[in-house]
Each structure stands twice: as structure tokens, then as C-alpha cells.
Amino acid sequence: MIFELSIAGLAYGGNGVGRLDGKTIFVPYAAPGDRVRCRIVRDKKRYAEAELVELIEPSDRRRPPVCPVFGQCGGCQWQHLPYAEQGVWKERIFHDSLLRQTGVGAERLQPLLAAAGEWGYRSRVQFKCRQTEQGFVMGFYRRGSHYVIDVASCVIAAEPINEALARFRSWLPGSPCPERIPQVDLARDDEGRLRAVVHVLPGSERVLADYLRPRVLEAGYALFLQVGRKDTLLPVIGPEDLVIHPLDHGGLRLAYGPGGFAQVNLDMNRRLVALVLAAAGEGRPRRVLDLCCGMGNFSLPLAAMAAELVGVENYPPAIAKARENAVANGIGNACFHARTAEGACRALTGEAGFDLVLLDPPRTGAYEVVRELATERPARILYVSCDPQTLARDLVPLLHQGYELQWSRPVDLFPQTFHAESLTLLALK
């Protein structure tokens, strides 16, 4: 059934929202103020998902998308909205989620910290690959599928990433095994290095390494092959590490290896680290616990203001990097443990306890960890989140067990998408 619909707003996930006969309808790539013709593709009892068939009356809040494959590629959802309009909706969606699920006062929710630039910000990109009857394609999955959309460049990727993409697009079709290459990961750092991780099916790694080695040597890249999970990484040429600068000033250099994690928006990561330091510094913490610490992005800047910093991460190579980074930066009051975040506060608290816990979990959140924190009762908790739904869920047990939300602020690390990071400060009443 095809029908007309007025789009009233946007939802978490990026879809436009309208109502038909009392039912909520979600429409991808629609904008507030649009009048559209759409078709139901998934009908549920309380809502439906539709596809946009025709834009009857475009909203005055639209703009032409920059990318030629916007609407096909699943990477960006909001290129058709001016960046200021994206910010309005990111802030509103984040605030509404916390207000609705936690009951905190609106005065505790701070405005969105907008990105410094809306294009060319991604320092890491995964490109999907496929050998087809028409030739080798390299790009991104179409929304909701495993069909690879071929792209020559990406407008949200940093320029060194696009330069490397062009080279690999020329190299890989002529390789000995293009049909056995499912993905290429490209990453650049704050010091001009670029690292490529080429995924290859087992059995073809030797011939592919021999083919690519002289090419990446000439380009000045580091190259690794991956034949399965992250523990199957094989070095081919170049240094292992990339280096980020988490502070605007101070000279702190943090290395991370292939398979490790760093925020994709390096400029906005510095803004986020600065927010964390400002929030932590209000109470001059003595002993800090950083859960899900990675290679030390927050831990090592925090160590400068604490008597002791304890970091926890369940990916051992990241903990090895955190320890190396502490030594390389002359930081002697930080120790790191390779273990799960669950149970870490209880196991490591000691007689002194922790007066500040920083929590930076994956998108799934950390419900079991916050229940433990509600029992262990550190004086303050800083929660870095990339999902407002799991953040709101995780805040509820803390708010019910004597914690007060001091403030929460969304931070835009991901322009052109619906995603936003956030930082929330809680304190014991």
C-alpha cells in the first residue's frame, strides 16, 4: 500500500517519523516538514517501517546531499539535513530519552557540543569488498543488506583515507585473489601515519602479502593481513602502531596497534577528553578506576590529576599498549588489568576505595557493572556512552540507589549520522 504522510520529526536511528491512523510510521531519509509518498515494508502492532517512494513537498529544512550514493550506502543517515538541524535533533533525541526513562530534571541536561567540522573527520574506515561479474567493488554495505555499494571516496573520511582507498581500488583487482578479500580497514593517526589491514580468506595470505608489499612500501603505509578474528593479524610491512594525541596541549602520545580501538573523530576526541578532565578535576580525585580503558585514552590524561589510576580492559593487547603508553609518557601512578569490567570495582577497590569511576562501555552498555557500582558506592561516576537508550537504562539503578545526576551532555563525534557520544556525571547525595 502506498500512502501520503507528513513527517513531524526524527527518531533515534535516523528515520523520519509520521503518524497514520494513530500508528507511528518510520521513514528513512525523510526530513521534518516533508510531505512524502511511502510504502510499508514492515508492519508491527504499534508501529510500521516504510520506504520513501516520492518526495511530494520537500521541507525547507532540507539540503542536497553531498555524497552521490547517499540513500544507498548505509553509513550516513542525515546528509540531507543542514548540520545545525542535525544538532537540533541529536540534542532533542538524547534529552528526550533521558527525560522519559530516568525522570531527571531538564535543567540537568546540557546542550550538544557540536563537531568542529562536519566533513572529512573519520580517521578509521572499514571498506567492504566483493568480486562480481562486473568487476571488483570496494565500498560500503547498502542499508540493511550485505550488498556492497561501490564508492570512489567517502565525504566523511579524512583525506589520507580517501587517498589510500584510491590506491587499494587500483591494486586489489589485479591481485592474485581479489575474490578472497572481503574487507580492507584503513586508519590514519595524528602524526601522518596510515595503516591498512586487509582481510583475506585462509590460504591466500602469502601470495597477497607478496603482491601488496612493494606497493604499500612505495606508498609509505603499514600493512597487516587478517585471516579471521583479531588474533590472526599478520604483519607484512611497516610499524605496528598508530599514535593519537588526546590533549590539545601537553605532548601526551598514545599508541594503539592493529585490532585496537581509538575514537574515529580525533579532533572531537580531544574535546571529549577535555570534558572528562574538567569534570574529574572538580573533585580532585585521589584514586580513579577507568573501566573499559582501552589503550589509555582517558586513563593516562586522568593520571596527571590523581594519586593513583587503575585501568581495566578485557582485550589483553589493549592493556599491553596502555602499560607501554604509561611508560613512554613517564606516567608512574597508573596500573592496568586485563579483565572484564564486571566485578572489577569490587575486586580492586582495596581499603582506600575509588572516589571516581569512569565507565566507557560498548554500545550494549554496562547494566551489571552499574549495579555493582551502586553497591560499592564510589563518590562520583563519569559515564561515557555512545547509545542514549542503554545509558538511560543503566542510569536508573544508580538513581534509585542514592546517586544524583549532576549533568549530562551529548557530544557530536559523528556528523551526518544519528549517532552521538555523551558524558554524564553522577555523585552520591
Which residues are part of the catalytic machinery?
386
Alpha helices in 304-411 (DSSP H): 316-328, 344-348, 367-376, 388-400
Instruction: Give CA–CA dist 406/392, Å, rounded.
Output: 14
Residue 380: all three cell numbers together: 562520583
SS3 content of the chain, % helix, strand, coil (to 5): 30, 30, 40
Among 372, 289, 379, which residue's Cα sits nearest to residue 336?
A: 289
Structural contact between residues 395 and 427, judged by C-beta atoms closer than 8 angstroms: no
Residue with cell 553522577: 426
Q: 238: phi > 0 → left, psi -120 to 50 → alpha, else beta; which?
A: left
CB 214 within 8 A of CB 224: no
What's the angle, vertex CA 298, arms to CA 293 and CA 299, rounded to 5?
A: 65
